[in-house]
Chains A and B, each alone.
Chain A
Amino acid sequence: MAFRFLYRAAVFAVPAALTVWSQADAKTLRVNISADPAQIDPITYSELNSYQVLEQVYEGFTSITPDGRALPALAVSWTPLPSGYGFRFNLREGVKFHSGRAFTAKDVKYTFEQLLKPGGQGGLSAQFLNNVIGAADLKAGKASELAGVKIVDDRTIEVAFTKPDVLFPIYQFFFMDSGIVSALGADWMTKADAGTGPFTFKQWKRGIEVDLAANPGYWGGAPKIDGVQFLIIPTGDTTLSQYDAGELDFVNLPENSFRRALGNPDYQSQTIKVPKAQVRYMGMNQALYAPFRDKRVREAISLSLDRDAMIRGLYNGAAFKLNGQTVPGIPGYNPDMPPLKYDPERAKALLAEAGYPGGKGMPPVDIQCIEPFRDEITYYANQLGKVLGMPVTPKVVERATFIKSMNAGEVAFFPWGWTADYPDAMTFLGEMWQSKSPFNRPRWSNAAFDTLIERAQTEPEDAKRFAIYRQAEKILMDDWATAPLPATTNIALRKPNVKNVTVTPFGYSVFQSALIQ
């Protein structure tokens, strides 16, 4: 009897509980993201999945084209302030938030203040405001307004800095509707969005999907699709299987599915390969391992790495050689850096010159990284042992522990990378290699390099700034501060009936002009 009861209960409970949702119709673009966004919030966002959703819904002063250029978006033009320390922005006219309220200078100021106010938990964009006058006071709770921001009129706003910051207009902000909290309450995020972009927030089913609907009133023209459905799919194999079964239109693949995707000839015409906005390098801390203090040792390490073999064997072809510390697709990239060579004989000779013939006299050293890099560090250890006789042991470290000790400058030898925060090579050269940057993890330091970077930070003209980057990057590589490692690509698959969408170095493009035939 009891069994019968249980059985009956289950039989009735199952169909009742499986709430059937309406199938996405043909004009909804279905794409994948690898995890839930941490929050669909223009203020707290700090990771890629949130960014992929937010960039369809929110906008800043400028937007980034798929080839990395910044175009005017909510600002139509800007001029430096007379002091040189700041900008006056002319905002776009006739832009409306999804709520119907007009976008004005007040909303820009409001967004900045939300990013900085104590307890507001400003995420990644908050760092872009560090140079704005009054930012520190607002953060510390000593002020209630951001002193460096002046609303001239609805369409004009001035932002003043404590020191020059010529890249300010291209920093990615997501301007939000200052009236949203009073209209919908503090939990507005669960009901609506506060953006101006081509798509509006429809719903987020945690663990399943995020749905966006087209914004017919978008100032840049209404999208031609009905909406976007971001399906949350953590594993690469499931992503590919769903793509094969026609449940996804466009996929940005996780790395662990590259082998399967690139090995399948059926995909060839559907594959898009774009360099990631990420440089990779070998960290060699000169304070922690004595042989690294000799430039010849650092060069010998670079010469010992067979990068072509690495690209084939470790990256399944989804990578390209990097000869410096900037990547294609990010303005400021220098395509003319001298190509790095694989030359074991020259490497051996250099090491002998440095006083370590055949690796004799070199103390043992660990090459450390996190689990996904296990194969890679094993390759380095083997290769350096084979070519140079250098006693290197691969050591896998748990991710958070590794990042913490790397940030503290406590790791002697490690491969790592840095992802761009904005489309300009400063994001690499300045953040990673300037001696005072907290993200200079190998602790390399060079006064001439630092001076050039500081000069570049005051040079508003792209061509002139890029020329400075070239000089700085040359200093970096002449000193063999690092052995650049192959940089990886984004790999996406797009069904033949989907048009006008792509991936950029940062991830998905904005889907405003997407077409599904």
Chain B
Amino acid sequence: MTMFVLRRLLGLMPVLAVAIGLTFAALQALPGDPVAVMLSDHSADAELAARLRAEYGLDQPVWRQFLTYVAHIAAGDFGLSFRFVHTPVIDVLADGLKVSPILALAALAVAFPLGAFAGSYAAIHRNRWPDTAVILFLVAGISIPNFALATFLVYVLSIKLGVLPVAGWGTLDRAVLPVMILAIPCAAYLARLARALMLEVLQHDYVRTARAKGMSERAVVWRHAFRNVLVPLLTQTGVIFGGLLSTTFVVETIFNIPGLGRLAIQSIFARDYPVAMAIILLFTLFYAVINLMVDVLCAAIDPRLRAEGGSRP
């Protein structure tokens, strides 16, 4: 097991290296000069501009900026933010780090049981009204864009009814709407999957055996079949978590949540390359680690996976 984890961790390194190279190149390719953005109207002040350029190492050739950057990252130093004067990137990220992963995990915590249960329930009642209701929910959940749903819910729940705050972060009531917006499409996706899996599982011999033993239908479905739906569903959480992370960019902007997603957008517009780079790297790392965790969990559940070198079913 330790070997398995180590091997997967080593495999992460080239992924991170490619991510660093690509994001650096992409940000360099963006038109615009961070110093001009910093100074705005006053960027004709050549003296001030030159001093800032030197302070941030922007007067160096690009290849040297890249090497310096990589060397610093290897030493755990993400450098100084361009937008926040004299502030290390780590400090700028620290606050957002306490927000985005929690937001994504909370959404997952809502979406997973909801999706797994709704999908399975629909499968058991195939072609009857609960099935239709769930299918309706999942079509809507997958196809309504999150920003439209968010605007609608804010209008109804916050402005008209006044039951939830419009935006912000820090209290439980402020988290309700953003978590809902994040969770609904995930739940819909998981429900679709769970429904298909349950339909398949119900055809298996062991289900027939269980029924033949005289077990109640409820016990057959929820004790035997449902568990076998959960394992393949769990392997999908890695992918779903990645989707959630990218959706936080939108949701955090709409609900004005001080997380990494909103920060990334602001940093890109402000040409705050060091912060934008660090966030993209962090997200790559999150995604990789979650997938690793899922693999480890699956391997723990199913010993065959360990023997076969860790590929997923």
Residues of A near any B CB (own CB < 8 A) = 1-3, 6-7, 9-11, 13-15, 17-21, 35-36, 38-39, 41, 44, 46-47, 121, 124, 126-127, 205-208, 231-235, 238, 241-242, 244-245, 247, 398-401, 403-404, 407, 418-419, 438-439, 441
Contacts and interface: CB of A to CB of B under 8 A. Distances in A.
Contacts of B197: none
Given A1-B301, A404-B43, 18 more contacts: A2-B301, A6-B237, A10-B106, A10-B108, A14-B105, A18-B172, A20-B171, A121-B55, A121-B86, A207-B262, A208-B95, A235-B254, A244-B159, A247-B165, A398-B31, A399-B32, A401-B33, A439-B42
B112 A3 contact: yes
A19 B102 contact: no
B41 interface: yes
A44 B85 contact: yes
Interface string B44-76: 111010011001000000000000000000000
B162 interface: yes
A2 B165 contact: no
A407 B43 contact: yes
Contacts of B30: 398
B177 to A, nearest CB: 12
A53 to B, nearest CB: 13
Given A1-B301, A20-B172, A7 B112 contact: yes
Interface string B67-103: 0000000000000000111110000100110100010
Contact of A245 (B36, B165, B171): B165
B154 interface: yes
B46 A17 contact: no
B33 A231 contact: no
A391 B275 CA distance: 43
Contact of A401 (B31, B48, B95, B165): B31
Interface in B162-178: 162, 165-172, 175
Given A2-B297, A241-B159, A208 B168 contact: yes
B109 A10 contact: yes
B210 interface: no
A241 B92 contact: no
B170 A21 contact: yes
B112 A6 contact: yes
A257 B48 CA distance: 34
A207 B263 contact: yes
Contacts of A439: 41-42, 44
A138 B254 CA distance: 47
B39 interface: yes
Contacts of B254: 235, 238
Contacts of B281: none
Interface in B251-305: 253-256, 258-259, 262-263, 266, 271, 297-298, 300-301
B40 interface: yes
5 smallest beta-carbon distances between A and B, as pairs: A207-B258, A10-B109, A400-B32, A39-B85, A400-B36
Given A38-B83, A234-B256, A400-B271, A207 B172 contact: no
A444 to B, nearest CB: 15
A242 B159 CA distance: 8
Nearest to B270: A35
5 contacts: A9-B105, A20-B171, A46-B42, A244-B159, A245-B159
B228 interface: no
A419 B112 CA distance: 52
Contact of B168 (A127, A206, A231, A403): A231
B95 A418 contact: no
Contacts of A407: 43-44
Contact of A238 (B31, B45, B230, B256): B256
A241 B166 contact: yes
Given A39-B84, A205-B95, A241-B158, A247 B168 contact: yes
B234 to A, nearest CB: 6
Contacts of B41: 403, 418-419, 439
B113 interface: yes
B185 interface: no
Nearest to B51: A121
Contacts of B141: none
A28 to B, nearest CB: 15
A467 B37 CA distance: 37
A17 B172 CA distance: 10
Nearest to B300: A2
A245 B162 contact: yes
Contacts of B105: 9-10, 13-14
Contact of B85 (A121, A238, A400): A121
B34 interface: yes
Contact of B167 (A36, A241, A438): A241
Contacts of A234: 253, 256, 262, 266
Contacts of A419: 41
Nearest to B174: A18
A208 B166 CA distance: 14
Nearest to B98: A17
Contacts of A438: 44-46
B36 A242 contact: no
A399 B154 CA distance: 32
A47 B40 contact: yes
Nearest to B159: A244
Contacts of A238: 166-167, 254-256
Given A6-B112, A244-B159, A245-B162, A14 B175 contact: yes
A3 B258 contact: no
B32 A398 contact: yes
Contacts of A44: 85-86
Given A245-B162, A400-B34, A39 B256 contact: no
B234 A3 contact: yes
B109 to A, nearest CB: 3
A19 B159 CA distance: 25
B169 A401 contact: no
Contacts of B167: 233, 238, 241-242
A446 to B, nearest CB: 20
Nearest to B271: A400
A348 B118 CA distance: 71
Nearest to B102: A17
Contact of A3 (B34, B169, B230): B230
B106 A14 contact: yes
